[in-house]
Amino acid sequence: MIIYGTAILAVCHLSGIFLGDLLGTLLGVKTNVGGVGIAMILLICARLWLHKRGLMPQTTEMGVGFWGAMYIPVVVAMAATQNVVAALRGGPVALLAALGSVLVCACFVSMINRTERDAEAGDAAATETEAETDNRVATHRA
């Protein structure tokens, strides 16, 4: 039954939030520490455990899958209920923080991927300058 899946998700969610609150209290901060992350790990474990025992039929999976698919719509609703007027008073913080992190990450991706042995490595040097220009154009347009 579909509700089994949703119930498993609910139990993992509640346990994760509870453990997050507990961890927060133990650490002396009055906040939830990684509750959602803990819930996600619990769900992955629960899925593996149930799957191994053949207790995870398709309909049960659908009970979780539905909520997983709902996360973009829920985030849209969340965006629509934020205090955007106040955020805009924050000025160019969002733009700069985003641009900065994209540039830093792009450099690291490029650096790590350059360590990979590649049959096509020969043509890499030739296109490098051009690619960097591309990257600059990309960030400008964004």
Partner 1 sequence: MLELLEKTAKHNGLILAFAVVGLVMIVSMQLSRRLTMGRVHGSAIAILIGLLLAYWGGVQTGGKQGIGDVSLFAGLGLMGGAMLRDFAITATAFEVHVSEARKAGLVGVVALLLGTVLPFIVGASVAWSFGYRDAVSITTIGAGAVTYIVGPVTGAAIGAPSEIMALSIATGLVKSIMVMVGTPMAARFLRLRTPRSAMVFGGLAGTVSGVSAGLAATDRRLVPYGALVATFHTGLGCLLGPSLLFFVTRSLVG
User: The tokens of 71 are what?
Assistant: 């996360």
CB of 115 vs partner 1, minimal distance in Å:
9
Choose between 54 and 91: whose C-beta lies nearer to partner 1.
Answer: 91
Question: Do residues 32 and 17 touch, judged by C-beta distance below 8 A?
Answer: yes
| Residue 17: closest CA among 31, 36, 30 | 36
Minimum CB–partner distance for residue 45 and partner 1 (Å): 9
CA distances from 28 to 18, 24, 32, 34, 47 (A): 15, 6, 11, 14, 32
Nearer to partner 1, 54 or 93 (CB): 93
- Of the pair 3, 124, the CB lying nearest partner 1 is at 124
